[in-house]
């Protein structure tokens, strides 16, 4: 019985997480995996794995486990990664280049179909991946023409909010923002922020507690 009425957000993140080792396991070894094994690979509790999956259906067989191939297909269906998504990226500095050149995205169905920058020296340059850097003012036109659904922002912070507005205005439905500020979007556009420094700050907080021999932190 599927009961998608009240799914914890962490569950969604973990589903993506589970799919990583599953993909690797597909390439060899037994065709079935237990919640215990999978949990071990992902560093979570086995009951957690079972509960997460049970929100969406009964994918396992009691006494046996989960058929890896099937499970992966189910997870991809749930996450909607069983189709291709068209993305554009704005801000072709070091990070922007690094993202569009990364093979993993294409492999997972995330297709960068346009790249924008405001720097006239960069506009027109062709990238190894085949994309040509377009001027910022063509965002609206190309988002519509190419049916771009997701925008990735890799500009400096000061430009991020303006770019967000241009993108959402052009019809992009979701934004992944790498600039270390909290951008605001209209209702019609969802946003995720990625901030590496927050992760680092987390690490050093815990490190410092360790050094000081504190129990918590």
Ligand X SMILES: NC(=O)c1ccc[n+]([C@@H]2O[C@H](COP(=O)([O-])OP(=O)(O)OC[C@H]3O[C@@H](n4cnc5c(N)ncnc54)[C@H](O)[C@@H]3O)[C@@H](O)[C@H]2O)c1
Partner DNA sequence: CGATTCATGTGCATTATTTCACAATATTAG
Partner DNA sequence: CTAATATTGTGAAATAATGCACATGAATCG
Q: Which does 179 bind (CB under 5 to 8 A by kind): a second copy, ligand X, DNA, none?
A: ligand X
- Beta pairing class for 65-67 and 32-33: antiparallel
Number of amino acids touching DNA (CB under 7 A): 27
Distance of closest approach, residue 9 Cβ to a second copy, in angstroms:
8
According to CB under 7 A, which residues from 18 to 37 bind DNA?
33-36
How is 40-90 classified by DSSP, letter by letter? HHHTS-HHHHHHHHHTT---EETTTEEEHHHHHHHHHHHHT-SS-EEEEEE
- Alpha carbons 23 and 72: distance in angstroms, whole number: 7
Residue 179: how many other CB atoms lie within 10 Å: 22
Q: Does 198 bind a second copy (CB under 8 A)?
A: yes
214 is an interface residue for a second copy by CB under 8 A = yes
Q: Which does 134 bind (CB under 5 to 8 A by kind): ligand X, DNA, a second copy, none?
A: none
Task: Give 50 or 108: the residue with its C-beta nearer to ligand X.
Answer: 108
Q: How far does CA 11 lie from the centroid of its chain?
A: 14
Candidate residues 2, 5, 120, 126; the one interacting with a second copy per rule CB under 8 A: 5
Dist CA 179 CA 193 (whole Å):
8
Any residues with CB less than 8 A from the CB of 178 and at least 6 apart, and which?
95, 152, 153, 154, 194, 195
* Cβ-contact 163, 175 below 8 angstroms: no
**Distance of closest approach, residue 139 Cβ to ligand X, in angstroms:** 8
Positions touching ligand X (CB under 6 A) are 90-96, 98-99, 102, 104, 116-119, 122, 136, 154-157, 159, 163, 178-180, 196
Tell me if 86 contacts a second copy by CB under 8 A. no
Residues that bind a second copy (CB under 8 A): 4-7, 12-13, 15-17, 20-21, 41-43, 78-81, 85, 93-95, 97-99, 101-102, 104-105, 108, 110, 149-150, 173-174, 176, 180-182, 184, 190, 192, 194-208, 210, 214-217
């Amino acid at each position: 019985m599927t009961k998608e009425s009240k799914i914890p957000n962490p569950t969604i993140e973990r589903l993506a997480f589970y799919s990583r080792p599953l993909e690797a396991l597909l390439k060899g070894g037994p065709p079935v995996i237990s919640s215990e094994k999978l949990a071990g690979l992902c560093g979570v509790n086995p009951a957690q794995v079972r509960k997460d999956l049970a929100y969406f259906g009964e994918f396992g067989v009691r006494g046996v486990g989960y058929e890896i191939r099937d499970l992966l297909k189910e997870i991809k269906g749930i996450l909607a990664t069983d189709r291709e998504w068209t993305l554009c990226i704005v801000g072709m500095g070091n990070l922007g280049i690094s993202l569009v050149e990364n093979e993993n995205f294409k492999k997972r169905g995330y297709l960068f179909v346009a790249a924008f920058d405001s720097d006239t020296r960069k506009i027109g340059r062709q990238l190894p991946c085949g994309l040509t850097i377009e001027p910022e003012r063509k965002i609206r036109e190309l988002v519509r023409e190419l049916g771009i659904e997701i925008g990735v922002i890799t500009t400096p912070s000061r430009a991020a909010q303006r770019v967000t507005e241009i993108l959402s205005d052009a019809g992009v439905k979701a934004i992944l923002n790498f600039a270390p500020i909290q951008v605001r979007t209209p209702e019609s556009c969802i946003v995720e922020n990625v901030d590496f420094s927050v992760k680092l700050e987390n690490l050093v907080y815990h490190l410092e507690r360790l050094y000081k021999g504190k129990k918590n932190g």
